[in-house]
Amino acid sequence: MKGIFAKILFVLLVSILSIGCIRPKTVDTSVVLDMLPTGSRVEDVLRRVMPDQMEDGKVRVAVIRNLSNSDHTRLFVSGCIIEGIALGFEVDVFITDGDNELCQKYIIQAIEAGYDGIILSHGGAYTYDALLPAIEKGIKVVTFDSIPFKDGNINNEILAGVTHVAQEDLKLAELSLDAIVNHFPGARRPIRVIRTWMGPNIVPLDIRKTVYDRYIAEGKIREVGLVAPADHSNPRAGARRVLANLLPQIPVGSVDAIWGCYDELAKGCLDALLEAGRTDIVIMSIDISDNDIGYMITNPNIWLSTAAVDPKLIGISNMRLLAMKFAGEPTPDTYYLAAHHVPTDLLDGTVNMTNLAKVIEGWGSETGVFDHFDWMKELKAITYRY
């Protein structure tokens, strides 16, 4: 990727990184497409491959992220945007900070505005009903960590036409909890654990908790505390406050580990431990970002590991699946991204999210992720040229 395309895309991604203190926030990518030369043939290819979506001369995608504007969110969004622009789409991003009412409002607005596709991240139990009018209108839909199942029950039928994307949440939980259990000698079991939590009805966390409950039933761990902030718009600050209030009641040596089921909660717990001068409790978590890596490296004796999927790859895969729907390609009902274990002792100051693959095999690899279509290669050959 070079020239005009790369320069404008760089400016766009910098704007994503700067939106942390503003909510809600939208990101408009049309400026990038407007800078491409008129003879680029992008529109010609799109008209041939996606004629229905190109009736108005452009393919428009709404990305609705129903989480706080964390590093993980920004990486997910960047994946959506980079892939969308590479395919010649206009991509608008809406971040709700976990406000379910605002999320539903944005879904309605996206349907009324006539977007060709919607990517919904972390929609709640309302997802099926909220997205049904979109499907009925012919809008293509991909969801990530949402509940596009009838009556908000993950055991019920999925909304027809929707692809549900998720991380291997069972594996993520197993990797993180195994890290806790294996860190201590067998004679210590059950390991005394403080659980972090947001929910219920946050699908990935609900799934992860089923593994946690199994480890308790198997006698591997024992819950001795709970950190569950009520404010989901700033989970890090909320977790810090809850644990800070809890720590004075916890004698040194009475707790072994904190299970960070979500990295923002893990960071809040780390903040509280550092403020209290407590180094007797270790953290094993789920999810990762550059910010997380920095804290893991500077606190290697506390934050010992995490289990994660590349959030940028999640965004890329969501956009590719949506493009496949536009092009009339068959798509699966569900798609799961493989989990990885990331021990802190493999990290150093040279490691970040762009090169984590040098220490974690297979990390972030796009190869084989819905990338074999000739029309997709044709579009990228055009956009990457500039």
Over residues 109-134, the pLDDT tens digits come to: 999 999 999 999 999 999 999 999 99
Query: Mean pLDDT over residues 265-273, rounded?
Result: 98
Q: Per residue in 284-313, pLDDT tens?
A: 999 999 999 999 999 999 999 999 999 999
pLDDT bucket at 40, cuts 50 / 70 / 90: low
Residues in the chain: 386
Q: Residue 145 carries which DSSP code?
A: S
Q: How far is CA 365 from CA 51, 166, 267, in A?
A: 31, 16, 26
Question: Is CATH 3.40.50.720 correct for 3-168+311-339+357-383?
Answer: no
Mean pLDDT of 204-233: 95
- How sure is the predictor about 384, in pLDDT bands with cuts at 50, 70 and 90? confident
In degrees, rounded to 5, the angle at the alpha carbon of residue 212 between the alpha carbons of residues 206 and 217 is 125
Sheet architecture: strand order including 140-144:
25-28, 90-95, 60-65, 117-121, 140-144, 162-167, 334-337
The pLDDT of residue 42 is above 50: yes
Beta bridge partners of 343: 305
Determine phi and psi for 298, rounding to 5 degrees. Answer: -80, -15
223, β-bridge pairs: 193
So what's the pLDDT on residue 13? 53
Instruction: Calculate mean pLDDT across residues 368-380.
Output: 95
Over 80: is that where the pLDDT of 36 sits? Answer: no
d(CA 209, CA 173): 8
What is the rounded average pLDDT for all residues in the chain? 90
Cα distances from 80 to residues 73, 122, 153, 311, 349, in angstroms, run 11, 15, 27, 10, 27
Q: Give the list of residues 6+ apart from residue 267 with CB closer than 8 angstroms, or none.
A: 236, 239, 291, 292, 295
Average pLDDT over residues 87-92: 95
Average pLDDT over residues 83-94: 95
Amino acid at 171: K
Name the residue among 119, 74, 90, 94 with its Cα closest to residue 32.
90
Look at the block and give the residue holding tokens 């490691």: 351
Burial class (CB in 10 A: 0-12, 13-18, 19+), 349: exposed
Given this model, what pLDDT does residue 69 score? 86
Pick the CATH number of 170-308 from 3.40.50.620, 3.40.30.10, 3.40.50.2300, 3.40.1190.20: 3.40.50.2300
24 pLDDT higher than 70: no
The pLDDT of residue 29 is 56
Sign of CA dihedral 67, 96, 148, 375: negative
pLDDT at 201: 82
Query: What's the mean pLDDT in 335-360?
Result: 96
What is the domain partition of the chain in residue ranges?
3-168+311-339+357-383, 170-308
Which carries the bigger pLDDT value, residue 212 or residue 201? 212
What confidence category does residue 25 fall into, taking pLDDT thresholds of 50, 70 and 90?
A: very low
15 or 238, higher pLDDT: 238
Question: How high is the pLDDT of residue 102?
Answer: 97
Over 90: is that where the pLDDT of 222 sits? yes
Q: Give alpha helix (H) positions in 63-99.
A: 71-86
| Domains 3-168+311-339+357-383 and 170-308 equal at CATH topology level | yes
